């Protein structure tokens, strides 16, 4: 298996060039060892985990800089490079909370691996029962990390207003726990604070949220970061996003 290979869930749809219908949590495996790669691929495919493989540290670093992974499995064939990669990932905002599983050469490497930021560690040879148990324990943490960044595509009316603007209606593009993108008939400015009112599909009460515009484009779209969200709305939004994510995960 070559570097960069992607293992998709068996129930993904790839016919006629169409993308997989649903992609599970995304894991980056950093290893050049064929046996380790085959073993991890076998068990992760059974769990519908979307796995990408890099054979070297440099390729892995580039992938971490340009993509989002809920977990990373790092082979300690070269312990110094492995530790450096884990520490580097922990320094990235997008991967600070990612689950890290270290594949160690011996138990003597465990203290350094955990100090660097590993959450789980396995020592070669990889025993099926222990690997399966470890992945089962790590998977809920991967899903939780996925939920933090998960953007659910949904088009609903959003009432937008501010102290400097009369209220108008925009249309959402997607929504996450921390923000949303929308299409606005009124140009918004980066850094602008606005008040949002929306009703999530399947719910009855409107949610009132304060947001800040963090990006705009020339097509009337804007991205907003939620700034002030009432506790009851936070709980409702997290629950709603979690349900949508659960529906999207492969079975």
**Residue ranges covered by each domain of the chain:** 6-149, 152-248
* Average pLDDT rounded to a whole number, residues 164-173: 92
Could you give the C-alpha distances from 129 to 37, 53, 74, 88, 139, in angstroms and in order? 17, 23, 20, 31, 15
Token code pair at residue 42: 């076998």
Question: How would residue 250 be classed by pLDDT, with cut points 50, 70 and 90?
Answer: low
pLDDT digits (tens, 9 = 90+) for 197-247: 999 888 888 899 999 999 999 999 999 999 988 888 888 888 888 888 778
Topology given in CATH for the domain delimited by 152-248 = Thrombin, subunit H (2.40.10)
Residue 6 pLDDT = 38
Topology given in CATH for the domain delimited by 6-149 = Rossmann fold (3.40.50)
In eight-state DSSP terms, residue 82 is H
* Average pLDDT rounded to a whole number, residues 167-178: 93
Helix, strand, coil in percent for the chain, rounding step 5: 35, 30, 35
């Amino acid at each position: 298996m070559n570097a960069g290979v992607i293992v998709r869930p068996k129930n993904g749809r790839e016919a006629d060039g169409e993308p997989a219908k649903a992609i599970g949590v995304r894991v980056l495996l950093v290893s050049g060892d064929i046996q380790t790669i085959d073993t991890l691929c076998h068990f992760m495919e059974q769990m519908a985990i979307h796995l990408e493989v890099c054979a070297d540290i440099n390729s892995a670093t580039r992938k971490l800089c340009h993509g989002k992974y809920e977990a990373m499995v790092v082979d300690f064939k070269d312990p110094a490079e492995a530790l450096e990669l884990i520490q580097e990932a922990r320094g990235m905002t997008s991967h600070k909370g990612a689950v890290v599983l270290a594949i160690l050469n011996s138990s003597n490497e465990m203290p350094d691996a955990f100090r660097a930021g590993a959450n789980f560690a396995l020592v070669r040879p990889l025993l099926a029962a222990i690997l399966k148990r470890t992945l089962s324990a790590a998977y809920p943490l991967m899903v939780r990390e996925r939920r933090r960044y998960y953007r659910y595509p949904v088009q609903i009316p959003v009432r937008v207003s501010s102290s400097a603007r009369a209220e108008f209606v925009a249309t959402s593009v997607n929504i996450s726990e921390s923000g949303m993108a929308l299409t606005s008939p009124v140009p918004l400015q980066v850094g602008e604070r606005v008040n949002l009112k929306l009703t999530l599909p399947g719910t009855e009460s409107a949610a009132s949220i304060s947001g800040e515009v963090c990006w705009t484009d020339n097509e009337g779209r804007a991205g907003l970061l939620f700034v002030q969200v009432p506790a009851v709305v936070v709980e409702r939004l997290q629950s709603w996003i979690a349900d949508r994510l659960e529906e999207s995960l492969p079975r």
